[in-house]
Amino acid sequence: MTPSDYEYLRKLLKERSGLDLSADKQYLVESRLMPLARKASLSGIPELVQAMKSGAVALTSEVVEAMTTNETFFFRDKIPFDHLKETVLPGLIQARAARRSIRIWCAASSTGQEPYSIAMILKEMGAALSGWRTEIVATDLSMGVLEKSITGLFSQFEVQRGLPIQMLVKYFTQQGELWQLNADIRAMVQHRQLNLLQDFSHLGTFDVIFCRNVLIYFDQATKSAVLDRVARNTERDGYLLLGAAETVVGLSDSFRPLPDHRGVYVPSAAIANIAANNVLKFAAAAT
């Protein structure tokens, strides 16, 4: 690949997916895109770039997808899911007692382990949410990962990563070498393709937004812009959960960290209310 091919790909990926590649990631691009070039009967990356420049739209989308990192696993990092179960959902059950509905958005849902972990937590809450309307919207840029997520089929390796054995037994059925997530849990999650760089105001507002392990691939300006737009889709007393290597600090004034709850953020306007209403005391008692 020539330096100009690499520059072309860097610019295109930044514009299309927000991926911010440093100047020394040629090896990554080669390893991700060579299989795609071969599949398209092209001899290498220069020919792939040429085809893209000539207007190969489908191929360009495949390149963008191939460059996404889809690493995920059930109950990833555990603590955010503990916060969801012990603080966020109990708080919302009180706050939404009149309307009895909760909307959750999983904004870079990859192959489904994250939204389905959330669905299993809601299911485990049982009576506390009985009669409530709960909605989980799972979105991702990549159609490939969404299609896999919709099947609800996971390999032995995937179910061994983070999923407690009791949950495997309770919510999955073995099908040959794969595990099929039960239909009632699958039905709790709606899937939609969505690029976080594009407008998502049409999704409406959510009580909880998981936007984990995707901002790390963006540059500072893109992180800030996405966080500010995510804030507009967050209920005034809602919650944002970010990945372990992500934060709002120094990037957006729209959210503040929820004290003593690593990875959990609340709209800035809410923090004053939380303190005033002494909800933090409630949160501490629940953990």
Q: Which is nearer to ligand SAM, 69 or 277 (CB)?
A: 69
CB 98, min distance to ligand SAM, A? 31
Residue 16, both tokens: 């299309």
CA 246 to CA 257: how far, in whole Å?
11
Residue 249, both tokens: 């600090």
233 binds ligand SAM (CB under 6 A): no
Candidate residues 137, 196, 209, 274; the one interacting with ligand SAM per rule CB under 6 A:
196
Please choose, from the candidates 203, 183, 185, the residue with its C-alpha nearest in 3D space to the C-alpha of residue 193: 203
CB 267, min distance to ligand SAM, A? 21
134 binds ligand SAM (CB under 6 A): no
197 binds ligand SAM (CB under 6 A): yes
CB 185, min distance to ligand SAM, A? 17
How many residues bind ligand SAM, per CB under 6 A? 22
Q: Which is nearer to ligand SAM, 70 or 180 (CB)?
A: 70
Q: Which of residues 51-110 bind ligand SAM (CB under 6 A)?
A: 68-72, 76, 108, 110
CB 74, min distance to ligand SAM, A? 9
Q: Which is nearer to ligand SAM, 137 or 274 (CB)?
A: 137
CB 110, min distance to ligand SAM, A? 3
The three-state DSSP-derived secondary structure of the chain is CCHHHHHHHHHHHHHHHCCCCCCCCHHHHHHHHHHHHHHCCCCCHHHHHHHHHCCCHHHHHHHHHHCCCCCCCCCCCCHHHHHHHHHHHHHHHHHCCCCCEEEEEECCCCCCHHHHHHHHHHHHCHHHHCCCEEEEEEEECCHHHHHHHHHCEEEHHHHCCCCCHHHHHHHEEEECCEEEECHHHHCCEEEEECCCCCCCHHHCCEEEEEECCCHHHCCHHHHHHHHHHHHHCEEEEEEEEECCCCCCCCCCCCEEECCCCCCEEEEHHHHHHHHHHCHHHHHHHHC
195 binds ligand SAM (CB under 6 A): yes
Q: Which is nearer to ligand SAM, 24 or 71 (CB)?
A: 71
Stretch that binds ligand SAM, among 174-182, 207-215, 246-254, 270-278 (CB under 6 A): 207-215
Strands 255-257, 101-106: parallel, antiparallel or unpaired by DSSP? unpaired
Q: Which is nearer to ligand SAM, 140 or 158 (CB)?
A: 140
CB 61, min distance to ligand SAM, A? 12
Stretch that binds ligand SAM, among 37-45, 92-100, 155-163, 208-216 (CB under 6 A): 208-216
CB 160, min distance to ligand SAM, A? 16
CB 276, min distance to ligand SAM, A? 33
214 binds ligand SAM (CB under 6 A): yes
Beta bridge partners of 242: 211
Please choose, from the candidates 257, 225, 164, 197, the residue with its C-alpha nearest in 3D space to the C-alpha of residue 17: 197
Binding site for ligand SAM (CB under 6 A): 17-18, 68-72, 76, 108, 110, 114, 140-142, 145, 195-197, 212-214, 243
